Structure formats: C-alpha cells, structure tokens
Structure 1
Amino acid sequence: MAGIDLVPLVDEGLGNSAYLVDLGDGRALVVDVSRDLRAVHAAAARRGLTVAFAADTHLHADFLSGAHQLGATGGTRVLASAAGDREYPHTGLRDGDEVDLGGLRLRALMTPGHTHEHLCYLLLDGEKEVGVFTGGSLLVGSAARTDLISPERTEALTRAQYASLRRLAALPGEVAVWPTHGAGSFCSAPPGAERTSTIARERATNPLLAARDEDAFVDQLLGSLGSYPPYFRRLGEVNRLGPPLLDQDPVLPALTVDTVRAQLAEGAALIDVRALARFAAEHVPGAVSIPLRPVFASWLGWLAPADRPLIIVRDQDQDVDEIVWQAMKIGYDNLIGELDGGLAAWTAAELAVAATALTGPDGVGNVRVLDIRQRPEYLAGHLPGAIHIELGALPGRVDDLPREATVVMCGHGERAMGAASLLERAGHRQLTVLEGGPDDWAHATGRTLETGA
C-alpha cells in the first residue's frame, strides 16, 4: 500500500485524538474512539468506508470508549489488551500478537505504565514499520500520567512507563507517533501543542526520554502531575464492563417550570450552560455555571454530581446535541432534561433570580482575591496576595472561606463564574467575578504579578 491515509479526529475539549485509517478496500480501522461517534461516522461516510476494526489502547479514564457500541451495532471487530479483562465481545491481544487488516497489519506492543494493561499498536505495511498508536504511553514531548489506578501502584507503574517509553524509542526514527492524549488532556503531564510526532523527534526532544536513569524519570514524571477530575476514578471500570449501549441518539426532554421545581426539591441539580455574561446578569438561584464550550465535559465531570439528576438551562441558539454528547462521553447519563423555554420561562413564572457582579481589572481594588486556576497556572503568575484554591477542589472547601467581599478570578472568567456559582449556592455573598486574567490585570494596573507559591 503506497502511503497511509490516516485521519486524526481531535477532541479539543478533552485534549484527545482518535484516528481513522482507510484500509484501501472500503473498510476502516479506528483507534481510541469515544462514545461520541459522530466524528467517526462522518469521516467514514465521507470516504464511503465501513468501520471494520476498533482498537483501544487502554481502559480510558477520561472518556467512555465507543468500541463497545461499534462492536454491538456495527459488526466491528474490537481489539484490546487481553490483560484488561473486558466483559464484552472483543479480540484480546497479548504482546507480539498481530492482526491482518487486509494488506496492513497491527502488532500489539505491551506497554504498561499509564495503565497496567496498556497496549500500543505498531502499524506495518508489509515489513515496513509505518507508525505506532501510542495511546497513553509515549506522548509528544511527554508521557501520560501513572497515578490513575491506585496510590499503591503508582510508583510501580511509573517504572513500567520508563521501560515502555524506552521500548518505543528503540523503533526506527522515521516511525510516526500517534498518541491519544495531548494538549488539554488531564491524563497528560504538561504537553506541547503538537499532537503527532516521530520516534526520532521524540528521542531528540522529549525530556522524559532524556532522564539520566529510571529514578530520575520517576521523579520527573511524578513531579509534573497535577489534579484530575473525580470521574476519572470510575470510567476505567465502566469501560472494562462495556459502556451502556445506546439504541438511538440521546435527547434532552423539555421540562416545564413546575417539573423543574419539583425535581430540584427532590435533589436534582441545575447546570446553566449559558455564556459568562448571560449567567452574571440573571440565573436561577443555586444553579452551577458551566458554560458550553469545548472543555464543557471536563468541568461537568469535575463540578456536577454523577449520582443526581441534572437539568440543563441553555439559550436557544446553543446546540443541545453538543451538550448531551459531551455529557454522555464521560458517563453522565443522568441528564434528565432542560428547562423548557430557558430562563425566560422561569422569569415569566415570576420566580426569583440571582445575579453575579462582573468587574474589569481596574475594579479589583483591595478586596480579597480568590484564584481558582490550576496550580501550574497560579505558580506561573498571580495577583499579589491572592488565595489559591483550584476550582476542582472548591466544592469541598466552600465552608473554609470567610464570608467577605471577594473577587474570584481565573484566566478569562468562565471558570471563575463556575466558582462563584458554587460559593453562592453555599451561601456566600459579596462576590465579584473578574473578566479576564492576571495578565489583563497587570497590563491595566502596571503592577507586577507574583510567581511561585
């Protein structure tokens, strides 16, 4: 086969890439596809392809795999690590096993580290090693985190990751590197902007491959890891069992104001996906602000309960399918509907609304500042004296904060509004959200940011 027709399917929000490979005979291979199969189906349809093979590199923690759905409804042959003990029909592969794709071949390479059962897939054209699907092993400029299985196994997995990366680095330099995790993925150590690479480039530039020995590698990788959403701790097992199959595309039923009020009284949570300014102007008291944007799924999985019914408030021009699929791909099947008519229906019923003040950099003044960005962001530069609590940790810390005037900030404002909504729900008042980030404040005031802890 002259050349490989490979199509990366990038999920910018989760920071992951799936791949579709045209096998040249009307069939396709897909690798590490999520439960949201819309992009896969569209890419295959444009080329007139049937998805014949779906390979998973590991039991994903950050999204539900779409391989189970493809196998059950499309006759797709599912390929996965035999060590994963998946409980649905699949071909379990061990180190060195090969699968004939009809001209091309896949060779399984056991590469534990990110997970205990991790497989990479080496794509061969004849005897030529073309590229390797590295999943959560070798990434562009990095390697995936090793602390998702259990604290007791983290060091052993990190040492396994060291060996796995060196095994991959021994491949020919021209072999392409096609990882799953990339920029924006919480499964990654801090990655670069590019999503694919080559073995030669990684040998030359990946700092983890430059570690002087195994102990230095362990210190370097573990020292680079930050926090991750709590839903990561349960999706691996869901993927092992097989994500629930869908017999049709999910929908979001319209709920009347009275139904929404009754559901809230019984413990449902309200998720407002409208833009920052729209939420600030008025919103249902107690609603959590998670604006609809590419990273919606990550913050839904961080801030919204997975064990309670969720109701959506949106503007009519916001894509309801995008809301539902972003939730479903991380296992949030607990969306029970949306407020019919949006906030306008709530206000028409003469029900109470709340508002949250916004300010520009000049309005920060001398009040307390709460910075809710990720730790590396905070260390790189923050307002002098700012308190730091990551947004993901805030739900468990709302009672630790004094109830006094506070400006809440992040990098742009969306995460800060989410934080303010959590604090308001816990009874905090006198909250203001900064539109913009620390660089905007420094530019507007002429003052210098602090760095470090």
Structure 2
Amino acid sequence: MYFVDTLELKGLGNRSYLAGGPRTAVAIDPPRDIDQVIAAAARRGVRIAYVAETHLHNDYVTGGLELARITGARYLVPAAAQVAFARTPVADGDTVTVDEGLVLRAIATPGHTPHHTSYALEDAGRAVSVFTGGSLLIGTVGRPDLVEPRLTEQLARAQHASAHRLADQLDDTVPVLPTHGFGSFCSSAQAEGTATTIGRERRTNEALTLDADAFVAQLLAGLDDIPAYYVHMGPTNAAGPAPLDLTPPELADAVQIAERLAAGEWVVDLRNRIAFAEGHVAGSLNFDGEGQLATYLAWLMPWGKPVTLLAETPEQIAAAQRELARVGIERPAAAATGTPADWVPEGQAPASFRRVAFADLAAAVAGGESPVILDVRRDAERAQGHIEGSTHIPVHQLHRRLGEVSDGTVWVHCAGGLRAGIAASLLDAAGRQVVAVDDGLASAADAGLLARS
C-alpha cells in the first residue's frame, strides 16, 4: 500500500507532497517551514527517507535542505542544477526505492527551468502518480521565462516536448500532481480545477493538443509580469537556505511605530481592507494577511527593507511571519497587536478613507464629477475591458509610479477589491485623497462603466 498526502500552501498558490509506504516516505518540493512536513510524516507514522526537488524554485525558498539535514534523508536535486551544497544528483531515469515495492523514478522535463525533473511514483512497477513540479500543470504548464530572457523560447519548446514525454510514458489514469498552478506566478495560467490525470491533460492541455509552434506562440503571448522578488529566490535556493527562525519579533509601541515610519521603514497592517479603510495608522500599508500576503508584499516592498507587522492578535502575526519567511523575508523588525487606537501616538486619531461600489463611481461620473480613476489590474486583465478615461498602473508598479497619478481624489479599483485596497493604502500613505472601489468588476459592467480595450 502507498499513500500521497498533499500539503496546500494557499498563500503562495503551491502544493508540496509527502508520499510513501508503511515505513518510509519522500517529501516533494517542501516549503520553507518544514514543521508541517514533519507533522504529516508523524501522522502517518513514517520516516522521511528522501527529499526531492523538481527544480530550483523561483517563487519560494525551499525547506528541502533543512528537512534533509534534520531527518537524515537523502536530498535528491536535479544533477544539472548548480548548487553550493552536498546533495544526491538526479538524472533522467534514476530511481530510488522509497519503501518496499515503491519506487521513485526521475523523468527529465526541462522547460520551466533547464534542469527541471518530474518524478513518477511506481508501485510494483506501475506508475501510480507523477509529481510534475512546474512542468505539466492542471490545464497549463509552468512559465518558461523565469531563468534567462534569451532562453525563454527555447524553454517554451522544451515545455511542449516535456509534456509529450510525460504523456507518452504514463498511462491516462495516472494522477498529475504539480507544485505550481494554484495561484503561483510560476504558472503560465491558473489551474483549471484541483485534480487531473494524464488522460485529462492529453485531451485538454494545449501543450498536448497544439503543435509546438502554435503552443509556443500562444504561451509567449500570454506571459505576464514576473514578481520582483523572484530574482532573489533562485540564488537563495542554489546557495542553500539558512534554517528558519520563527521566534516572535520584538514588540513595538505607538512611539516606536511612528519612529519606524519616520525612518522610511514599512509598517504593514495585516487586517482586512474593510477594517483598514475604517481606521489605520497614517503612513501604514494594508496587505491583508488572508490575501496572498507573501506574493504581494514581497513583490512591492524594496528587498531588504525592514518591515513592522500590525495585527489584531499574536496568532495573526505568527501566521504572517511564517508566510513571509517562505519568500525570504526572514524576520520582521517589530510587531504590534491590538487596534489602531493602540498604534497611534497619544492625542492622535487613526486615519481613514472611503470605500464604495462601482455604482457609486458611476453616480459620481453621471453627476458631473471628473474623478481620477486608477485601474491597478495587470495588463492582460486591462486588455479585456476598462473604464473610459481611467489611468492604468498595475498595483505592483504603483509605489514607483505614484507621480503619474493625476491630481485630485483618486478612485482606485481592481477586479475584486483586494489589490485596490493595497493601492489605496499606498496612495493614502503618500498623502493623496483616495476612495477604494471595493467591488467586483461585473458590477462595473452593470453600472455601464466598462469599455472594450
């Protein structure tokens, strides 16, 4: 008997896996916070004998090296990956026995990276799962443009060939278990569903239904911006990440929070955008702790800048600290819990701004106002339709382009409200009068605001 457990990393949009038999197991693409992998193994009553990486990750810091060190597991890393630590190099066709009758077989699948390797789990000689990392995903493939611009087309063609190789080697019933595709920007598109098989991908994945030229042209045309922090992930993983430190950060009072803001540090309020709009520390920024915190904060924040976290409870601080560590934001400079009244100096009141719906924006326009409308969606979203006369600056570029926003009160929107909340906090911190349009884009169409691009 074998098992495969899935470890969801929703904040990063990834999955890791623990697979094995009655006694021993292999961890695939483990996260930085390895305690959850160890806990999964303990629940199964198995020893982690192997840790396997499909590739050097570009979107998160791996816990693989530390997990292997702590458990004594052999660390399987693709042989062509250039790393600065001892590991067991893995080449195409190499196998290891995970447990009696249970074998892990390496399949070279370059494309997401030049050295990318998938792993087929075989029980009694029959493939029962394939861990595809950033190769074949659910309805799509991993991005080919994260390594080196000059290699992008070459890697896109390799993705097509690798998808076909997997489909040729494995039966239609074999479950496909990717690492990316559930929100990670390492995926060229988001997953179509939560589970798939080789057979389903053979019928629906354009890497398997289009010829190479058509697939490559379509893949390259659909590539979007790369999160800025990705440039730091590969080198960190190649060097060998340091052990994780999740001890609580230093506590800050209202005076210290004000001092950190005055010093140009980032003070990040983890509460939801509704609470933030109603009251917050002037100058603080809003990144909802439940809304892809690590992706957006690491993308926008200048790398290495000290960050202080504000939240209602210590548990929320701890959860954010864990998630940020996954992308190399090692230690918050400080933290504070409570409410905005606790975080502002005595005698001062929290700042606030308005939240409205698209219907309110439409009413303002119909009433003769000329609001400054800022669209902070990505380019591909903007291409599907926009509000006439709106300024377009994707949220991840806004902190560098604030000077391009016209004078006046700024009505800022995205497709659902989360990114508009981040953008509103950036504008508010810069001293602008802002209104956050906290609404779904379908309401903009209902209000007659959308024009085709």
Match of 2:443 in 1: 440
Matched, 1:68 2:65: yes
User: Which amino acid counterpart does residue 438 of structure 2 have in structure 1?
Assistant: E
Partner SS state of residue 58, structure 1: coil
Q: Aligned AA for 1:449? A: L
Q: Is the 8 A contact 1:208 1:221 kept in 2?
A: no
Q: Indicate whether 1:379 and 2:383 are aligned.
A: yes
Partner of 2:200: 201
2:336 to 324, 339, 343: 339
Q: 1:314-362: per-residue Cα shift (whole Å, max 9, x none)?
A: 1127622211011000101141111354522233522464222212233
**Counterpart code for 2:352:** A
Q: Is the 8 A contact 2:416 2:440 kept in 1?
A: yes
Q: Tell me whether 36-45 or 111-120 shows the greater mean CA deviation.
A: 36-45
Per-residue deviation, 1:190:
1.6
Q: In 2 relative to 1, CA 188–101 (structure 1 residues): closer, same or farther, beyond 3 Å?
A: same
TM-score (normalised: structure 2): 0.92
Q: Relative to structure 1, is the Cα distance of residues 440 and 39 closer, same or farther in structure 2, using a 3 angstrom cutoff?
A: farther
Moved over 6 A (4+): none
Give me the whole-angstrom Cα distance separating, in 2, the residues matched to 1:297 and 1:277: 20
Report the equivalent of 2:271: 274
Single out whichever of 45-54 and 231-240 deviates more from structure 2.
45-54
Distance 2:184 2:413 in 1: 22
1:365-376 residue pairs with structure 2 within 5 A?
365-366=364-365, 367-376=371-380
CA shift for structure 1 position 311: 0.4
Number of equivalences? 444
Partner-residue secondary structure (3-state), 2:130: strand
State the alpha-carbon separation in 2 of the partners of residues 343 and 273 from structure 1: 12
Aligned to 2:224: 226
**Could you say which residue in structure 2 is the equivalent of 1:410?**
414
Match of 2:54 among 51, 57, 81: 57
In structure 1, what is the Cα distance between the partners aligned to 2:310 and 2:247? 17
Matches within 5 A, 1:132-151: 132-151=130-149
Local SS of the residue matching 2:15: strand
Aligned mate of 2:295, from 292, 298, 304: 298
- Does the 8 Å CA contact 1:64/1:329 hold for their aligned counterparts? yes
Q: Which residue of 1 aligns with 2:354?
A: 357
Give the distance between the partners of 2:149 and 2:221, measured in 1 at CA.
14
Q: 1:391 maps to what in 2? A: 395
CA distance in 1, matches of 2:393, 2:313: 34
Matches within 5 A, 1:251-262: 251-262=248-259
Contact 1:357–1:431 (8 Å) recurs in 2: yes
Letter in 1 for 2:221: G
Question: Contact conserved, 2:105 with 2:120, CA < 8 A, in 1?
Answer: yes
Name stretches of at least 5 consecutive residues in structure 2 with no aligned partner.
366-370
1:28-59 deviation per Cα after TM superposition (whole angstroms, max 9, x unaligned): 21111110234323322222223221111001
Q: Summarize the Cα distance change of 1:160–1:334 in structure 2 as closer, same or farther, 3 Å threshold.
A: same
- Matching residue of 1:401: 405
Quote the residue 2:424 is aligned against.
420
The match for 2:128 is 130
Equivalent residue for 1:314, pick from 311, 316, 327? 311
CA distance in 1, matches of 2:60, 2:225: 17
**Distance in 2 separating the partners of 1:423 and 1:202:** 44
> CA offsets, 1:188-244, max 9 Å, x none?
1223332332111111111221112x2222111111211231111110110111111
Aligned pairs for 1:278-289 within 5 A: 278-289=275-286
- C-alpha separation between the residues in 2 aligned to 1:278 and 1:348? 19
Equivalence for 2:9? 11
In structure 1, what is the equivalent of residue 178 of structure 2? 179
1:381-405, CA deviations, whole angstroms, 9 ceiling, x for partnerless residues? 4333332221112122111121222
Question: Over aligned residue pairs, what C-alpha RMSD do you find?
Answer: 2.0
The one-character-per-residue Cα deviations of 1:116-146 (angstroms, maximum 9, x if unpaired) are: 1111111112221222111101111111101
Partner secondary structure for residue 59 of structure 1: coil
- SS of the equivalent of 1:30 reads strand
**What are the superposed Cα offsets for residues 140-167 of structure 1, whole Å, 9 maximum, x if unpaired?**
1111101101212212211222221121
Deviations 1:272-295 (A, max 9, x none): 111112211222222111111041
Output the CA distance in 1 between the equivalents of 2:270 and 2:336. Answer: 12
Mapped to 1, the partners of 2:187 and 2:355 lie a distance apart of 33
8 Å Cα contact 1:252/1:335 also seen in 2: yes
Measure the CA separation in 2 of the matches of 1:229 and 1:34. Answer: 19
Q: Name 1:22's counterpart in structure 2.
A: 20
| Aligned equivalents of 2:261, 2:389: Cα separation in 1 | 38
- Structure 2 matches for 1:40-119, cutoff 5 A? 40-103=37-100, 104-119=102-117
The answer on whether the counterparts of 1:308 and 1:334 sit within 8 Å (CA) in structure 2 is no
Q: SS state of the match for residue 209, structure 2?
A: coil
TM-score between the two structures when normalised by the length of structure 1? 0.92
Contact 1:110–1:120 (Cα < 8 Å) also in 2: yes
2:150 equivalent in structure 1: 152
* 1:245-303 CA distance string (max 9 Å, x none): 13x53322212233333333333211111111221122222211111104111111112
Contact 1:381/1:438, CA 8 A, preserved across alignment: no
Q: Does structure 2 conserve the Cα–Cα contact (< 8 Å) formed by 1:23 and 1:101?
A: yes
